[in-house]
Chains A and B, each alone.
Chain A
Amino acid sequence: MPRPSAFRVVMASLTTMLAGVFSLQAQALELDDWSSVEAKARGQTVYFNAWGGDSRINGYIDWVAQQVQSRHDIELVHVKLGDTAEAVSRIVAEKSAGNLERGAIDLIWINGENFAALKEAGLLHGPWAEQLPNFSLTAPEANPEVRSDFTLPVEGLEAPWGKAQITFYYDSARVETPPRSMQALLDWARNHPGRFTYPLIPDFLGSTFLKQALLSLAENRGPLYGPVSEADFASITAPLWDYLDALHPHLWRGGRSFPNSSARLRQLMGDGELSLAFTFTPSEPAASVANYQLPPTTRSYMFDDGTLGNVHFLAIPFNARHKAGALVVANFLLSPQAQARKQDITVWGDATVLAMEALTDRQRQAFESLPENPATLAPEALGRTLPEPHPSWMERLEQAWLERYGAR
């Protein structure tokens, strides 16, 4: 039984929450009548909180801002984050302070754990994504990945924006035959000590490497797609720890230090400290060669039995002030024109979430005429995608890793 005082507090916060819900309904948008949304969006300023660490992505968002300005009279402001958690903090702070309608964030670029956390805490607006006019172009029946984020059902709380998949890359001047499976990676590392590593847990890419290794090494993948609490964590992850125990002595710095982020991992490739690395953005090696960050002899590939992949999304916080504007921008970002430009390797190179068969011939043409680059992955290499495990696994894996290797 909760003590009366605590109980009152719970009731009070429930009441505030309900009041918030009602006031939101009062100004609810008629999603079925898209032109009314567009009319409401006119003249709004949309604050788009998105990671700002890549000048090419920033350049693409600048272009989007010009487009929505001229097409819809919306001013799009890119709030450049160093880490998406900064925006999540703000939403939590606004909720704590009772700001239920005038939030400072209108649109946010997220997926995975961040989405799971915001969804669970009830901090997202929606459902709205499936009512976007352009959503049908993703052919969701045939491509269920746009409806689930790390196995969590999206339920219309976020709209798909792009696709990512673990892609390995190596310097072909130093490596002749790169490893094409987890087991081969261990042998390769033994023969090339200090030339491979992965980002420090809990960096996103580092944790993704753990999941990739676990998926490859686990005898039975089934339990990985349910909550971790329902599985026998110790026995399922035992092969992973054996593998890492064997791998770590052959890593960069003998596994005693790890790069802080995926950006730092790429820097180490550029410095020649590593000769094999990986990324979550298939186009990144090619783009980084064009940007002088990686050796011109860089080549990318994927594991033979597939690598982990996922979709990244756009969400609207529960208290966003300019929801109509955010909806119109999200819809524009899903348009064939915006998606084709995003996939252009000279612009950003982020894979589209649109289904080619759902497009008209004219719409498809924009995708077919995109330029190529020797460091780019051949299109047929993509496709063997392993879906993400349930998000609860990530947290447990990170904890277990930190206990084993986080302090030595």
Chain B
Amino acid sequence: MPSGHAVGVRLAPWLAIALLSLPVASGLAGVIAPAFGWLPALGGNALTLVHWQALLQAPGLGRMVQLSYVTGLASALLSLSIVVLFLGAFMHTRLFTAVRRLLSPLLAVPHAAAAIGLAFLLAPSGLLSRSLSPWLTGWQYPPDILFPGDPHGLALIAGLVIKEVPFLLLMSLAALPQCQASERLCMARALGYGPLSAFLKAVLPGLYPLLRLPIYAVIAFASSTVDVALILGPTTPPTLSVAVLRWLNDPDLTMRFMASAGALLQLVVTLAALASWWLAERLVRQLMRGWLENGRRRSGDMLLGGVALSAVSLSVLLILGSLIGLILWSLAAYWPFPQALPQPPTLRNWMGAAAGLGDPLFQAAVIGLAATALSIVLVVGALEAETLHERPIRPGAQLILYLPLLVPPVAFLFGLVMMQVQLGVAPGLSVVILGHAIFVLPYVFLSLAESYRRLDPRWAHLARSLGAGPARVFWRMRLPMLSVPLLTAAAVGFAVSIGQYLPTLLLGAGRISTITTEAVSLASGGDRRLTAVYALWQLALPALGFALALGLPRLLFRRRSGLLTPV
């Protein structure tokens, strides 16, 4: 009789592929067909290239593409450098522990909320300028300076970096134990390498492969983000993703053909950014080989350490400043420039929002928990199958896993809604949960996969030689040993689910209202006070998730410290 474990392992990969491939295929079809002129409901009955011609003639298209491509790569490069330098310079120090404590609240801030906060912090009428005015600057009214929204996208890159640094740091924390970072570091230090050189030469070559997928996700997200770019990005022209959203939302329904072509172009831009990164990886590996082996014990450790410290402090300060800005706005009545603090503070905004909050918070939590649980089960099942058969998931299947991250969701969801209607599935909670799982699963997978794969197989061999069957090895050995990365992956998945706006709205036909749908529709009305209250509530849920993910193992495994991070 096959055990539950065996059946689960056999089914999980197929279920995961089915959960993703069907919606992704119909989602893509929903983009590709209109891009080439096919959308009978709007009178598109023949294949044509005119929509591509229209797209190529869109004013500023070249700049849009360039902006998306450059911000995607630049923000990933900056975030990765900051994280690597910081880990190298400060692993095993007290500062490192302090930053790790800050990680869960930082991670929990939704991208849009961080962007709103950052915009308020740095704008000419923002918190920074208020606290210096008029005593230092002499400004009675805000100066007319083009930032954020600068034409080069610097504010946009900054906004992405302050969110990606905590994400990559979290991914590194989960991966460090898997690549024996501590042992390698100790060894290199014993051989006389400076702390940063030891990390760069001995740990990074093992750590980087574990970070590769999360970095690809960062590039894909950064090159196609809509909400951050809307708030911090330039407007004449905007990034390609924002332009696509505008075309899709244009009241002239025939614009949807061109929007679909634009969405495909966005996909190409994202793929191009990923390909460029991949090539750069190869190049760096070739170029750095000599440096790795040259035996030099120090290479600018002090200087780079200083750079790392200031970069990390700056990004932590910026995101904390954004959070403080949100909190201040949530307590403000009329708050004119250049008052640095709202006077007097009021709880009015919180009281006003309190009545309507319970239900959306509960709905968001239910959907998030269900989608995360589903994704974890499927991902663990798929990875377990891979481990048992000692055969990696086929590249085609891997691509399917990542497609939901690559295709701009605005375009993709239209096809998804069409499929939902065609199948006659009534909009409701279960469809929304499945829809969230499409976006949660890839993140859970990329958070967990490398840690799962790199778990030393000798543990399993040992357990098997002691007489344990595969199921027992899985439940008693593999799961407990992987509890840190598992919980981390769950927290990331939960946060991703909480952040979903369009899938909730479209698949639930707007009938499922979560804290995020409420927050986004209120944000469109521009009342910063109420938006701040909702954004703070919105980050409370994932913050709780991250706090549990980082705190639970320390509580449960007090006596098994080897399972915890070694740093």
Q: Which A positions have Cβ atoms within 8 angstroms of B?
A: 6, 9-10, 13, 47, 49, 51-55, 77, 79-83, 85-90, 92-99, 104-105, 112-114, 116-117, 120-121, 174, 193-194, 200, 202, 252-254, 256-258, 260-264, 266-268, 270-273, 275, 291-296, 395, 402-403, 405-408
Contacts and interface: CB of A to CB of B under 8 A. Distances in A.
A259 to B, nearest CB: 8
B250 A86 contact: no
Contacts of B59: 402-403, 406-407
Contacts of A104: 427, 509-511
B527 interface: yes
B236 A93 contact: no
B253 A256 contact: no
Interface in B200-242: 230, 234-237
Which of the listed residues A49, A92, A94, A271 has the most CB atoms from chain B within 10 Å of its own CB? A271
A293 B334 contact: yes
Which of the listed residues A89, A262, A270, A296 has the most CB atoms from chain B within 10 Å of its own CB? A89
Q: What size tier do the contact residues of chain B reach?
A: 35 or more
Contacts of B40: 9, 13, 96
Nearest to B410: A89
A323 B67 CA distance: 46
A10 B513 CA distance: 39
A83 B227 CA distance: 14
Nearest to A83: B249
Contacts, number: 199
B45 to A, nearest CB: 5
B39 to A, nearest CB: 7
A296 B334 contact: yes
Which of the listed residues B64, B501, B521 has the most CB atoms from chain A within 10 Å of its own CB? B521
A85 B45 contact: no
Given A55-B527, A257-B235, A261-B524, A99 B417 contact: no
B185 interface: no
A258 B235 contact: yes
A268 B120 CA distance: 11
Given A261-B524, A403-B59, A406-B59, A271 B144 contact: no
A202 B510 CA distance: 25
Given A82-B520, A85-B248, 14 more contacts: A9-B40, A54-B525, A79-B511, A80-B510, A80-B513, A80-B517, A80-B521, A82-B505, A82-B523, A96-B421, A104-B427, A117-B253, A273-B337, A293-B528
Contacts of A87: 510
B15 interface: no
Contact of B63 (A117, A252, A271, A407): A407
Interface string B305-335: 0000000000000000000000000001111
A117 B142 contact: no
Contact of B146 (A51, A82, A254, A403): A254
21 contacts: A10-B45, A52-B518, A53-B524, A79-B511, A80-B521, A86-B506, A87-B510, A89-B417, A90-B417, A93-B417, A95-B41, A117-B252, A120-B253, A174-B141, A253-B146, A253-B149, A257-B236, A266-B526, A271-B337, A293-B529, A406-B59
Contact of A295 (B334, B510, B511): B334
B441 to A, nearest CB: 23
Contacts of A407: 59-60, 63-64, 236-237
List 7 A-B pairs, minimum CB-CB distance, nearest first: A407-B60, A263-B526, A53-B525, A79-B510, A113-B251, A194-B144, A52-B521
B286 interface: no
Given A85-B250, A271-B337, A272-B142, A55 B60 contact: no
Contacts of A202: 246, 250
B123 interface: yes
A270 B525 CA distance: 14
Contacts of A55: 352, 522, 525, 527, 530
Nearest to B143: A194
B68 interface: no
Contact of A83 (B43, B334, B524): B524
A92 B509 contact: no
A296 B142 CA distance: 18
Contacts of B159: none
B42 interface: yes
A292 B253 contact: no
Given A47-B509, A117-B252, A81 B235 contact: no
Interface in B122-138: 123-125
Given A53-B525, A55-B352, A121 B250 contact: no
